[in-house]
Amino acid sequence: MSSPAHIVIPPQSGRALRVNRGDLVTVIDPDGQQVADLWAFVEGDPLDWLSTSQTRDITERVFPAIGDAFYSDRGLPLMTLIADHSPGPHDMLFPACNGPMYERYGYPDHLNCRDNLLAALAGEGIGPPCVPDPVDLFQNSPPQWDGRLEVLPSINPPGGSIVFRAEADLLLVVTACAVDFHPTNGGRCTEIHVKIEKAKSA
């Protein structure tokens, strides 16, 4: 059996990765407090993608738990969370950071996860009809008692990780969140690592 592939995603960047059904995907935060945005796509006509709203509706959870599947826009299971070596939570409410968001805070032309996603997809020849919201791994943004949504510093420790099993052949995009002006990522942006272990042959 071949050794697992190990991919390094530099700070404030993104990468497209292909996995097959049954593969194990481990997303690792080596330095701690670094959010990773995760998308999954099923190529075809029409294109399908991981939907956080469908996932919340089907699992009836705001945050994913071990054993939960992540569902597509068409309601199909794409990935299952099989292990979580982090304190979480993993946000499924916020969109990816984007250019207009940074402009509102006075940072024009800032690197952002939305653009990194689109660039990664363009490199694979894909132009999505819309930009899905990601699963924001390691993002600490629990709803407040008064209904507000607040992004707090990530509490993920160095080496914290989460493991998924692919339930279909997928194109994944993972970004290392680009927010560097807010304590989301502990006040700095660092690498994210992804390990892909191929499914064992029957």
Structural domain contains residue 156: yes
Residue 67 has pLDDT above 70, yes or no: yes
31 against 145, higher pLDDT: 31
For residue 36, what are the CA distances in angstroms to 32, 156, 178? 11, 11, 9
Strand partners, 95: none
If you count them, how many residues does the chain have?
Answer: 202
- As given in the structure block, the two tokens for residue 111 are 């690197």
Number of independent structural domains in the chain: 1
Yes or no: say if 154 and 90 are a contact pair by the CB < 8 Å rule.
no
d(CA 140, CA 153): 6
Assign 21 to helix, strand or coil.
Answer: coil
Structural domain contains residue 21: yes
d(CA 84, CA 170): 21
What pLDDT is stored for residue 202 in this prediction?
46
Q: Looking at residue 183, what DSSP letter applies?
A: G
Instruction: Dump pLDDT digits (tens) for 19-57.
Output: 999 999 999 999 999 999 999 999 988 999 999 999 999
Q: Which pTM was predicted?
A: 0.95
What pLDDT is stored for residue 66 in this prediction?
96
Average pLDDT over residues 108-137: 97
Structural domain contains residue 202: no
> What integer best gives the mean pLDDT of the chain?
95
Range of the domain at 17: 5-197
For residue 74, what are the CA distances in angstroms to 9, 46, 47, 126, 199? 29, 10, 10, 18, 25
What pLDDT is stored for residue 201 in this prediction?
63
For residue 179, what are the CA distances in angstroms to 92, 99, 148? 17, 11, 20
